[in-house]
Structure 1
Amino acid sequence: MKRLLVPLLGDAGDRAALDLGTGIARRNGGHIEAVLFLRDPNDMIPLVGDGFNAGMVDSIVEAGQAQLEEREAAARATFAAWQEAAAPSLEPGPGRLSASFTSVTGPVPNGIARQARTADMTILARTEPEDGQERGGLIETAMFEGGRPVVLAGSTGGVEVGRRIMIAWNGSAEAARAVSMSMPMLQAADSVTVVVVDDGDAQEAPDELVRTLLLWGIAATGVTIAVSDEGISETLEAEARRTDTDLIVLGAYSHSRIREFVMGGVTDDALHDASVAVLLAR
């Protein structure tokens, strides 16, 4: 993974994403593209009716511009502090961490899709209740429109990612694409474990995927574990903690989004609650 897109929003999640990107980029000699996504203040103007006069509209735009400037200042300060700690090169080169910072003003979150498609992956902090909709919107757009994997930082903040990888395997097309998209990391890992969680309906075994990975020279093993009373997500989490896993590879929304919204699902749990980093792909 050589080109890592790290979207910034000028909030507390920016540093977590940058730190995670550091661990991945150092391991692979990659380049971090930190991009601050800013909403055009004019996009904040509501559909005005008779109750909005020109002065009120101007006030909305001015408030939006002030917020934009605050967020840009915060993002630049976070990037500068990270840059001082990580000491990346300003120029990309073989085997070394490098980084750049740019800002983009335009539609949020849709503006991320084009940049995500030309990066190897997009790295973000997971969503928190106080984040509002913007970070969740960026994650969703990158996942569904970017065509590349999305990596979310774990809640424990670990940045050494890619040494011990777990593949959450259920035989779905989404899981297969997640494996394909993560192959460079799988090949560089010290160990890879294919985990099937048997919830009583499991039709899969890890053996065939393990066989493929071994043919690629990947140090892979497989295991089937029984689902716990807490459900599939917590079963995977517990196995990750037990095996000191630092990255879970997961096919996103292998069930319908409506079903996951109503009944809960592994993807939604990964977006909010996972303690280790998660690579999501569709």
Structure 2
Amino acid sequence: MIVGREHSAPDFGLGGSYLINRLIAESRTPILIPGDQVPIAEFDWPAVIAWNGSVEAANAVRGAIGLLKLAPKVKVVRFVESKPAQFPNTQLLEYLSRHGIHADFDERQITYSPAADIVAYARSKGCAYLVMGGYSHSRAGEFLFGGVTRDLLRECPVSIVTMH
């Protein structure tokens, strides 16, 4: 499903970030959100997987596996967090390998903020899009305290493929 960012309310019903948030939280379909600086992702360009070992991240990878097969290079980046991963890094790399995708894994420390670091990483590697899980914390928690999903939905120069 392709959904664009809409920063103002539409004529009918609720739209903008409310609609995107509902789609991510309730849809079982991967959602492509084009980047702010590109009309749509180039799927034959390199891709980056923002991996945190969560169920949501695993669902996003599973949902995007067809797109990831088109990428000439796949990078997996994990920014170290205090919470343990539900799915180990090796399990992700094995899963990708079973689908003919040989990915490079990179583990980093957070330097600025997780969202900004993910975008900087994707841009530094020449990636056209990033695959990430959406809302691994509750939406109420994201609303009150912020979160990576919310920050990237607000603005992101590269396209995002996400799934909850």
Higher helix fraction (1 or 2)? 1
2:6 counterpart of 1:127:
yes
- When residues 202 and 241 of structure 1 are mapped into structure 2, their CA distance, relative to the original with a 3 A threshold, is farther
> Partner of 1:88 in structure 2?
none
Which structure would you say has the larger Rg? Answer: 1
- Aligned partners of 1:153 and 1:276 also within 8 Å: yes
Is contact 2:6-2:15 (8 Å) kept?
no
- 2:156 equivalent to 1:274: yes
- Judged with a 3 Å threshold, the aligned counterparts in structure 2 of structure 1 residues 165 and 202 are, in CA distance, closer, same or farther, namely farther
1:147 paired residue number: 28
Work out which of the residue numbers 199, 218, 234 in structure 1 matches 2:101.
Answer: 218
The CA deviation string for residues 207-227 of structure 1, in whole angstroms up to 9 with x for no partner, is 331122122211311110110
User: Does residue 258 of structure 1 match 2:137?
Assistant: no
Q: Percent identity?
A: 30
8 Å Cα contact 1:151-1:277 kept in structure 2: yes
> Any conservation in 1 of the 2:41–2:158 contact (CA below 8 Å)?
no
Pairwise mapping of residues 69-148 of structure 1 onto structure 2 (< 5 A)?
Answer: 122-128=1-7, 130-131=8-9, 133-148=14-29
The DSSP-based 3-state class of the residue aligned with 2:140 is helix
Runs (5+) with no aligned partner, structure 1: 1-121
Give the drift of 1:140: 2.8
Deviations 1:48-94 (A, max 9, x none): xxxxxxxxxxxxxxxxxxxxxxxxxxxxxxxxxxxxxxxxxxxxxxx
Greater relative contact order (Cα < 8 A, sep 6+)? 2
Partner of 1:207: 90
Contact preservation (8 Å) 1:206, 1:224: no
Letter in 2 for 1:184: G
Match of 2:71 among 189, 199, 202: 189
Normalising by structure 1, report the TM-score: 0.52
Counterpart-to-counterpart distance in 1, 2:41 and 2:138: 32
Contact 2:25–2:134, Cα closer than 8 Å, also in 1: no
Structure 1 residue identity aligned to 2:99: W
Question: For the residues of structure 2 that align with 1:271 and 1:135, how far apart are their CA atoms?
Answer: 10
Unaligned runs of 5+ in 2: none
- Structure 1 residue 170, shift from structure 2 partner: 0.8
TM-score after normalising by structure 2: 0.87
Q: Separation in 1 of the partners of 2:26 and 2:142?
A: 19
TM-superposed CA distance for 1:160, in Å, is: 4.2
Q: How many residues align?
A: 158
Equivalent position SS for 1:195: strand
CA apart distance, 1:135: 2.9
